[in-house]
Amino acid sequence: MKYIPLSVPHLKGKEKEYVINAIDKEWVSTAGAYITEFEEKTAKYLGVQGTVACQSGTAGLHLALRLSEVSQGDEVLVPTLTFIAAVNPVYYMGAHPVFMDCDHTLTLDGDKLEKFIKTECAWEKKQLINIKTNRQIKAIIVVHVFGNCADMKKIIDIAKKYHLKVIEDATEALGSYFTQGRYQHKFLGTIADFGVYSFNGNKIITTGGGGMLVAKDSEHLKKAKYLSTQAKDDELYYLHHDIGYNYRMTNIQAAIGVAQLEQLEQFIKTKTQNYHLYKTLLADCEAIEILPFSKEIRANYWFYSLLLKTNQHSIEEIIATLENEGIQTRPIWGLIHEQKPYLSEQSYAIEQAIYYKQHIINLPCSSNLSTQEVTYVAEKIKSLLNR
């Protein structure tokens, strides 16, 4: 068996054809037909009015915070169990994150969020003030971890009540949508004020690097495009009335994106089948559990989480043993409130995130992973658990 990586891109569609076409036409930079095509086709897929393609998911999150009017000294409620790129843009704005716990879905715990607001904050002159820091809370960043959904109903209701903007970090969740409840038929990332997708190399579809912003308000989309292209108020005479960024996606990236989008549903199909295969093969192992996705959604099954239910084997031991068998796995992220740049920021009642960090590893989940490979990984896991 050859080495089985955790998650790698799958570029066997029309990627090469479209990239060569972009090069033949000599449209390789931040303008070109593939960019609009990628934006329009993604919008159509998601059932939204428009999207803005950018250089990365991180750039998309930064733009969303700018448009949420988060300013220097404000606060943003964020999860601690996530990839650090979900939080760093808060610091780019000169604002402060306040770290929240996760629930059993690994996403932001809506009940704890509400408890924090009710017990630690004051509602004064239509502003939500953190009593401890005396700063205004302006927004919530909710991350749909591994393609699973956060409790959007609860979070949106809280946000409405306290006039907070909500940004959905759907960088891992392209393709997941609600099949029931208030948001039935709505894709994750299209529910709140803003949603952000990523096309980094390990995401469900990739453009090498890239991102996409979705917004409720079409004025916000217009402004996002303007800010992502250096805020040009007059393109001929170079007049600028605002500070922008060089965040626009290139035509080469978009060419890959168009080809990848054509295969998204197939990737989801493979990932779904492999997820259920792991689950079946490992069903009789009492020491572990493959974490479920919410029953309220058609998940994209981007990443699979193996939960260790006993302390008989450490995650370090499992990762090292599987690595020796040619299988790459990894622990979930280091918690963000424990990372050096954020040590001085407030965190609220973090418990579950600590548990999950110590008990979860991610299993190989690439969209080109074969049945034989999944079976091999499951066998190796079983034999090490029985040692």
Ligand X SMILES: *Cc1c(COP(=O)(O)O)cnc(C)c1O
* Interacting residues toward ligand X by CB under 6 A: 56-58, 82-83, 85-86, 143, 169, 171-172, 198, 200, 211
Residue showing the smallest CB distance to ligand X in the complex: 57
Cβ proximity to ligand X: between 128 and 342 the closer is: 342
Please count the other Cβ atoms lying within 10 Å of the Cβ belonging to residue 227: 22
Please count the other Cβ atoms lying within 10 Å of the Cβ belonging to residue 321: 17
Q: Is-contact 336 84, C-beta < 8 A?
A: yes
Q: Is-contact 170 199, C-beta < 8 A?
A: no
Q: Give every CB contact of residue 367 below 8 A, 6+ residues apart in sequence.
A: 10, 204, 266, 267, 270, 271
φ/ψ bin of 259: left (φ > 0), alpha (ψ from -120 to 50), beta (otherwise): alpha
Cβ proximity to ligand X: between 130 and 190 the closer is: 190
Cβ proximity to ligand X: between 172 and 288 the closer is: 172
For residue 174, give the DSSP letter. T
* Encoded amino acid at 328, one letter: Q
Q: Is-contact 169 62, C-beta < 8 A?
A: no
Pairing between strand 127-130 and 360-363? Answer: unpaired
Rounded distance, CA 62 to CA 60, Å?
A: 5
The closest alpha carbon to 146, from 260, 7, 45, 286, belongs to: 7
